[in-house]
Amino acid sequence: MYSKKTEIEYSSSKDWGEDAIVKIKESEINYLKYKNLYSKKDNKDKYLFAANVQIPESINLPNIFIFEKWQRPRIWITGRGKKIEIAEDDAYDNFRKIKSCNHDFYNESQNDLVGDGICRKCKVFVQEYFINQDIRKSKYESLELHKDDIFFGKIPLKNHLYSMTQEAAYDINLKPNEKVDLMCAGWLHHSNGQLHSNDCVENILKYFYLEPKKMYESLILQYYDLVDNIKILVQLNNDHENLNKINENAKVLLREMEQKGLPNAYFLQSWILMADQTLLISANNF
């Protein structure tokens, strides 16, 4: 939730919890006209009230590491109205329905890699309700370990980890079990053995070249890591020594992937060409 306008001052009359985050903004209606996106003020329900709160105890979920501490997962509760008070009342009614609901969740993501759930009764949306437990463990223990560690430039390390694991989740060339193991390995590959997930992930992290049945996962993990490194360094365009080093490693990996006929080789080649071009332009400027 965000607003380009100045924050609206308002004293809430409801008990949202001591660590709730409340946002209020003038409501807008977005619509398409001649393929262009427009917005206008919502005259019927002028205000949008939103509260970010910890998930009620009626929803059974383990704690996650968020906002620099282990705590209950959080959800947004929203309401609309002609006045701010009415918008808050609407949101609080939704909050009470959620807390008293005998929930019946379905997997909105249709997989356990993302695992977002929606209750058929109260319609509450809960991130990662159905997520694979190895992925959950790897993700949040990694976030706790790294906290605000910086990667390249001013890029947080967790941004790199998010990017890698999302690439694994949507790679159409991977089987479901390979996606789970590689997402776990993606979250843990900067932890230097301090964190563990499962035996397969340990093998993927420990070696680059293993017996044939493990080789595929290991090469693909290197691919995600190198591609995201190149992507970040090309965008920063101020650390050409590191970019050159990583690009050379990518070229070695490309030969391995081509020899095994892995489909990711084509995309890796595209990133190598982009890095080559960036380095060439940099060299010509000096």
Domain ranges of the chain: 1-100, 102-131, 133-284
- Higher-scoring residue by pLDDT: 108, 29: 108
Q: What is the Cα–Cα distance from 216 to 140, expressed in whole angstroms? A: 26
Give 245's Cβ-side CA count (13 Å radius). 5
Task: Grade residue 10 by pLDDT with cuts at 50, 70 and 90.
Answer: confident
User: Are 184 and 197 a contacting pair, CB within 8 Å?
Assistant: yes
139-176 per-position pLDDT tens digit: 999 999 999 999 988 899 999 999 999 999 999 999 99
Provide mean pLDDT across the span 36-55. Answer: 80
Q: Which residues of 133-142 are buried (b: 16+ CB within 10 A; e: fewer)?
A: ebbbbbbbbb
pLDDT over 90 (residue 44): no
| C-alpha dihedral sign at 155, 156, 159, 161 | positive
Cα R_g (the chain), whole angstroms: 23
Confidence tier at 2 by pLDDT (50, 70, 90): very low
Contact 26, 43 (CB under 8 A): no
For residues 217-228, one letter each, b for 16 or more C-beta atoms within 10 angstroms of the residue's C-beta and e for the rest, the string is bbbbbbbbbbbb
Q: What is the pLDDT of residue 38?
A: 65
Strands 47-54 and 21-26: antiparallel
Nearest Cα to 225, choosing from 172, 185, 193?
185
pLDDT of 249 over the 90 cut: yes
Q: Per DSSP, what are the bridge partners of residue 52?
A: 21, 76
Query: Does residue 12 register a pLDDT over 70?
Result: yes
Question: CATH fold of 133-284, please?
Answer: Hypothetical protein af1432 (1.10.3210)
**Is 84:47 a contact under the CB 8 Å cutoff?**
yes
In this prediction, residues 82-95 reach a mean pLDDT of 93
Best CA proximity match to 254, nearest among 242, 267, 241: 267
* 46 vs 102, higher pLDDT: 102
pLDDT for residue 90: 95
Identity at 244, one-letter amino acid code = N
Strand order in the sheet with 117-119: 105-107, 117-119, 125-126
Query: Token digits for 219?
Result: 């090469």
| Other C-beta atoms lying within 10 Å of the C-beta of residue 176 | 11
Give the Cβ contact number of residue 156 at 10 Å: 14
Q: Is the pLDDT of residue 35 over 70?
A: no
Residue 13 or 180, more confident? 180
**Locate tokens 């509260």: which residue?**
51
One DSSP character per residue, 2-69 reads: --SSPPPP----S---TT-EEEEEE-EEEEEETTEEEEEE-SSS-EEEEEEEEPPTTS----EEETTE
